[in-house]
């Protein structure tokens, strides 16, 4: 009887772990997210010509720094994960923890640490319909 109870408990634990590992949740406010928020806020609020040029290349709006926020809505993060996986051609991978930064009224800066270039994490810029506007390394 003890063996059956232990086996049942292990099966439940394994199923819970697999389910949790495959669920998509918004990435938290860690050090990397804080650095990205600072970087994006400086870029979109910058008034110099270099900031404007980079913004244009990334298809980001010129907005106030306060208009840049880390997203915590799991439905938005799931949609962002799906869009990023589609963009990088990895729809075979399940959705996973994805960091999403809302930039102004209609842009999202998205990253998932599973997707890297040769040197750094890939970031995608998407509009509200999840059309990819830019894919950025760094």
Cα–Cα distance list, 135 to 121, 124, 125 (Å): 10, 5, 6
Residue 7 lies in a domain: no
Residue 15 lies in a domain: no
Calpha distance 27→40 (Å, rounded): 17
Residue 95 lies in a domain: yes
Domain span at residue 72 reads 24-137
Count of CB atoms situated within 10 Å of the CB of 111: 22
Per-residue model confidence as pLDDT tens for the chain (138 residues) = 555 433 333 333 333 333 444 556 899 999 989 999 999 999 999 999 999 999 999 999 999 999 999 999 999 999 999 999 999 999 898 888 999 999 999 999 999 888 887 778 889 999 999 999 999 887
Tokens 């970031």 belong to 123
Residue 87 lies in a domain: yes
Residue 1 lies in a domain: no
Number of structural domains (the chain) is: 1
Residue 40 lies in a domain: yes
Residue 41 lies in a domain: yes
Q: Is residue 96 helix, strand or coil? A: coil
Residue 66 lies in a domain: yes
């Amino acid at each position: 009887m003890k063996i059956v109870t232990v086996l049942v408990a292990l099966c439940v634990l394994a199923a819970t772990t697999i389910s949790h590992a495959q669920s998509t949740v918004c990435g938290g406010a860690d050090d990397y997210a804080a650095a990205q928020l600072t970087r994006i806020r400086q870029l979109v609020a910058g008034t110099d010509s270099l900031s404007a040029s980079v913004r244009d290349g990334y298809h980001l709006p010129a907005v106030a720094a306060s208009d840049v926020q880390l997203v915590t809505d799991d439905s938005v993060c799931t949609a962002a994960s799906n869009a990023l996986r589609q963009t990088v051609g990895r729809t075979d991978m399940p959705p996973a923890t994805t960091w999403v930064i809302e930039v102004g009224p209609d842009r999202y800066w998205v990253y998932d640490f599973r997707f890297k270039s040769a040197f750094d994490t890939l970031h995608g810029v998407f509009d509200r319909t999840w059309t990819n506007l830019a894919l950025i390394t760094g």
